[in-house]
Amino acid sequence: MKDQSWHIGVIGGSGLYEGAELEEAQQIAVRSPFGEPSGPVTLGTLGGVRFAFLPRHGVGHRLPPGRVNYRANVDVLKRCGVTDILSISAIGSLREELAPGHFVAVDQLIDRTEGRERSFFGEGLVAHVGLADPVCPRLSGLAADAAEAAGGTVHRGGCYIAIEGPQFSTRAESRMYRQWGADVIGMTAMPEARLAREAELPYAILAMVTDYDCWRESAETVEAAEVFAVMGRNAALARRTLLSLAEALPPVREPSPIDRALDGAFATAPDHRDGRLAAMLDAVAGRALGNGMK
């Protein structure tokens, strides 16, 4: 078995681990002070590496993007001891070369979501983390390598624009997003990436192109049935990718700068911090809060 310093949290559909070669699998319900997560966490090993799977939209896809409790999801994965988070999600393409069935290892994000809880911190305990590069380049590169090894077509790098949904975008919006420099479009990467950074968890997105967004003059409108059909066809490839990732991980997980993203991030003076909020952050920020910063 490989060194157990790696523990990969995977946020995606439940089909990602169903049928996978997951050993020592167990499903556990993990409670969070930030409310109910999307569902129980499935723990196990692939290729000798620990994995924790969490279905973003809940069992049976019962949660729309705007109702996912992203804070609780990240919090429970942190409580399970994950060291890194890999998001596997469906996206629409804003570029001709990013064809349905391809994967994109996203490296930048534009946030156009509304009304979602975007931070673990707030009144009584203010913190500001850096987010210039929201995706971990090490994990993203490893995931891209794994997808290629599994037989997928992978594009390295790309800007993901996260919209609120649940409707798909209008043609005018789709064309505007292209002008902004976005390459792909989805509904779930934000605030997930923000929260992962606050939780000091390196985060990467391996996004599956399911359709061309509606920017093309001759294109039909995006239909949910089309999206789900492509996802279903690529589920086996996604599972092979996870096994390839496990087999390719370095034997020892070297520290990442993101592991200490909260160093120097706290703005609230120690004697003015809200003790209740600090207690809620025991998993997310316990390392930093306990490091002489109370």
Task: Return phi, psi of residue 94, to 5°.
Answer: -110, 10
Q: Is 211 a catalytic residue?
A: yes
Among left, alpha and beta (phi > 0; psi -120 to 50; other), residue 157 is left
Q: CA Rg, the chain, in Å? A: 19
Tell me the β-bridge partners of 162: 111, 186
Distance CA 247, CA 286 (A): 31
Which letter does DSSP use for residue 20 in this model? S
- Which candidate in 133, 145, 211, 263 is catalytic? 211
Nearest in space to 6 (alpha carbons), one of 195, 196, 249: 249
Distance CA 209, CA 252 (A): 32
Distance CA 164, CA 154 (A): 26
Nearest in space to 199 (alpha carbons), one of 20, 9, 49, 55: 9
Q: Is 213 a catalytic residue?
A: yes
Residue 23 has which token pair? 């050993």
Task: Return phi, psi of residue 206, to 5°.
Answer: -110, 100
Tell me the β-bridge partners of 88: 206
DSSP H helices in the chain: 70-79, 137-149, 171-180, 189-198, 224-248, 275-280, 286-289
- Which candidate in 3, 84, 213, 274 is catalytic? 213
Active site residues: 211, 213
